[in-house]
Amino acid sequence: MTDSTLIAVDGVEPRSLRNLLGQFATGVTVITTRTADGRRVGMTANSFSSVSLDPPLVLWSLARSAPSLPDFLAASHFAINVLGSDQHGLSGHFARPAADKFAGIEYAEGPAGVPLLDGAIATLVCRNGTQYEGGDHLIFLGEIEHYRHSGGEPLVFHAGQYRVAVAHPALAL
């Protein structure tokens, strides 16, 4: 690629930037919490990343326009539920608005009352640490206090579609 093939960001439609950023394949998570009045809150997110092992820190981001933003800001803890390849329906469910997103969903109550989704291939319960400005999003930094993982194949999101990960054929045993 030469510099002449680069596109200036100024004036570019947001959909074009979304398509660009969608070229980075990500795992899919459902972030959950419980409000002070006991209401369960959950949302799908692929903006999850590890930050540090010592202390154990992770981050994720939430749009400032998200209806659940005040709930996550006020929460002492949240859980990150990493979805398996067979859980694309669960991802879609938590991505859509609903009066009670947990109706009909199997989950257990974890530390600090946060909902832990059954069947997730990994779950992290985090103390809600600091939030950072990130343009039209807030970046949540959480310290892992508890976790579990069962392994399994992850649900992957790439170019606007759910995908499954497979072992690279050149590296297969």
Dihedral of CA atoms 49, 32, 124, 163 in degrees, nearest 10, equals: -50
Which band of pLDDT confidence, cut at 50, 70 and 90, is reported for residue 151? confident
Which band of pLDDT confidence, cut at 50, 70 and 90, is reported for residue 173? low
pLDDT digits (tens, 9 = 90+) for 63-99: 999 999 999 999 999 999 999 999 999 999 999 999 8
Average pLDDT on 144-152 reads: 94
Q: So what's the pLDDT on residue 4?
A: 63
Q: So what's the pLDDT on residue 65?
A: 96
> What CATH number matches the domain at 28-159, 2.30.110.10, 3.40.50.2300, 3.40.50.2000, 3.40.50.300?
2.30.110.10
Q: Which helix H or strand E contains 14, and what residues bound it?
A: helix 14-21
pLDDT digits (tens, 9 = 90+) for 109-136: 999 999 999 999 999 999 999 999 999 9
CA proximity to 151, closest of 115, 172, 123, 110: 123
For residues 61 and 137, is the Cβ–Cβ distance under 8 A?
Answer: yes
pTM of the model: 0.92
Extents of the domains making up the chain: 28-159
